[in-house]
Amino acid sequence: MMMMGSRMLRVLVVVGVLLVCRTVVASGARATSLDDDRDGATALEPSSNRQHDGYSTAVAMSPLAFGALDTVQTGHTRHFSVSASVVPQEPVLIMFGVKSSSIFTLSPTNVTLTNETQSALVAITGHHRGQSDVAVTVMSVDPRFDNITVPKLSGRVVASRALLTINKVIGWVYFVAWSVSFYPQVIENYRRKSVVGLNFDFLGLNLTGFLGYMFFNLGLFYVQSIKDQYEHKHPGSTNPVQPNDVFFSIHAVVLTIVTIAQCFVYERGGQRVSKICIVLLTGAWLFAIISVGLAAGGIISWLQFLNFFSYIKLGVTLIKYIPQAYMNYRRKSTEGWSIGNVLLDFTGGSFSILQMFLQSWNNNDWSVFFGDPTKFGLGLFSVLFDILFMLQHYVFYRSSSGHSVQYYSILEQ
């Protein structure tokens, strides 16, 4: 049994690391391929065809194609191409209207495509940080081009293109740190064949929180109607949920379930989930179920419903570490609570907050803090509690080997 358990744990760790690496490599490959296309492209992208990484190469199902680039820097000029995928039989007039010309301007504001000139270049010059939509009007007596539906284009101006690369690196760092942070606790439980010292209230709250975060990410990333609601509520803003957010939340749920499963197998010293924690968890899920009914009945939007899930995650983050910190205090020891988990979580939280500030400043778009409050709250409160756990481990209870305390509940003493 021990050999089987060892093999299963090794397989689990290897699979998790491979998944993390695969996601990072895929993100890097996507970023590299996009960087290669930037020099001859534009800071404009079709809004309705906007990908989650901010890129699109052409307007789908249209005889017109627009080059694509994610950003242009303030004070700089880039060019994008407009071309006809079929030879125009009559001149095609394309007119551009920038909603916020203080952010960027286009020159010329209209181009004409003919059977001899089937493409044209348009210059986009960045003036101030921000994002603006561009309305496109197409006129031609050629029936293939006349009154065609062209999605709005969106242009973005940033203070520094170098910060885009820096933010990508930071994103990979916190993504890997947070994803790997679940493994030290699993490994420590396996080596000790015990979960004594690991608070069960923390695990229960953690699972509920990450389930809420997972549902929020899946809905805002995959469900088009919810994405449309978000864009309507935050016009001109980018989707705050990225592919690595989706992977992280799913991965977190799986590893938390694995850790909970260990509690049924290894020595636990009489530990159990406290009654008050059961009440809190029951209340959270009743709130979620009622919210589903309200959304299904049209009383609230599905975006509001997902925001409720993000609030559950945020609320859980506010309190989930308290039982563990209290248990460490009563035992005067952090034995059984992995410091590796704490250090990796601290790294992830710190870099997550740093990335959000740099991204918001670079884009002059602070909606990321309000559009995805869970992401900011997750980083901030995790960092604060990680500092407390590091003080407990390295300063307060450094010389303590732990006590065989069976069970502690901060709210039931």
Report pLDDT digits (tens) over 207-246. 999 999 899 999 989 988 888 888 888 776 677 788 878 9
| Three-state DSSP class for residue 144 | coil
Stretch 122-134: mean pLDDT? 85
Stretch 92-106: mean pLDDT? 87
Both tokens assigned to 379: 């980083």
CA dist 380 and 375 (Å) reads 9
Stretch 52-58: mean pLDDT? 37
DSSP string, 273-287: --HHHHHHHHHHHHH
pLDDT at 382: 83
In this structure, which topology does domain 44-158 adopt according to CATH? Immunoglobulin-like (2.60.40)
**CA of 151: how far to CAs of 47, 57, 110, 111, in Å?**
6, 13, 16, 17
Above 50 in pLDDT, residue 151?
yes
Q: How many CB atoms lie within 10 A of CB 147?
A: 9
Confidence of residue 61 (pLDDT cuts 50, 70, 90): low
Above 50 in pLDDT, residue 3?
no
pLDDT at 401: 54
CA dist 270 and 347 (Å) reads 33
Both tokens assigned to 387: 């500092």
Weakest-pLDDT range from 5-9, 199-203, 387-391: 5-9
Q: Chain-centre distance of CA 40, in angstroms?
A: 29
**CA of 314: how far to CAs of 284, 287, 317, 341, in Å?**
12, 14, 5, 20
Q: Which residue has the higher pLDDT, 31 or 90?
A: 90
Above 70 in pLDDT, residue 97?
yes
Instruction: Give strand ranges (E) for 109-233.
Output: 110-113, 119-126, 130-139, 153-158
Give the tens place of pLDDT for each residue, 335-366: 999 999 999 999 988 998 898 889 888 888 77
pTM, rounded to two decimals = 0.66
CA dist 356 and 247 (Å) reads 19
Strands 77-84 and 64-66: antiparallel
Which region holds residue 86: left if phi is over 0, alpha if psi is between -120 and 50, else beta? beta
Q: Could you give the percent of the chain with pLDDT greater than 90?
A: 32
Classify residue 105 by burial, with Cβ atoms within 10 Å: 0-12, 13-18, 19+.
Answer: middle
| Three-state DSSP class for residue 303 | helix
Q: Strand 119-126: give its sheet, edge to edge.
A: 64-66, 77-84, 119-126, 104-107
Contacts for 393 with CB less than 8 Å, ≥ 6 apart = 334, 337, 339, 342
pLDDT at 16: 52
- Is the distance from CB of 402 to CB of 336 less than 8 angstroms? yes
Strands 104-107 and 72-73: unpaired
Both tokens assigned to 77: 């000029």
Q: Which residue has the higher pLDDT, 6 or 40?
A: 6
Above 70 in pLDDT, residue 313?
yes
Above 80 in pLDDT, residue 408?
no
Above 70 in pLDDT, residue 29?
no
State the sign of the Cα–Cα–Cα–Cα dihedral 173, 176, 178, 180: negative
Q: Could you give the percent of the chain with pLDDT greater than 70?
A: 78
Weakest-pLDDT range from 2-16, 102-116, 189-203, 224-238: 2-16
First to last CA, the chain: 38
CA dist 38 and 188 (Å) reads 46
SS3 content of the chain, % helix, strand, coil (to 5): 55, 15, 30
- Is the distance from CB of 80 to CB of 68 less than 8 angstroms? yes
Strands 44-46 and 92-98: unpaired
Stretch 268-278: mean pLDDT? 91
Q: Which residue has the higher pLDDT, 186 or 233?
A: 186
Q: Where are the domains of the chain?
A: 2-27+162-396, 44-158
Helical residues (DSSP H) of 152-199, grouped into ranges: 162-180, 183-192
| Three-state DSSP class for residue 46 | strand
Residue 187 sits at φ, ψ, to 5 deg, of -65, -40
Classify residue 134 by burial, with Cβ atoms within 10 Å: 0-12, 13-18, 19+.
Answer: buried
Above 70 in pLDDT, residue 307?
yes
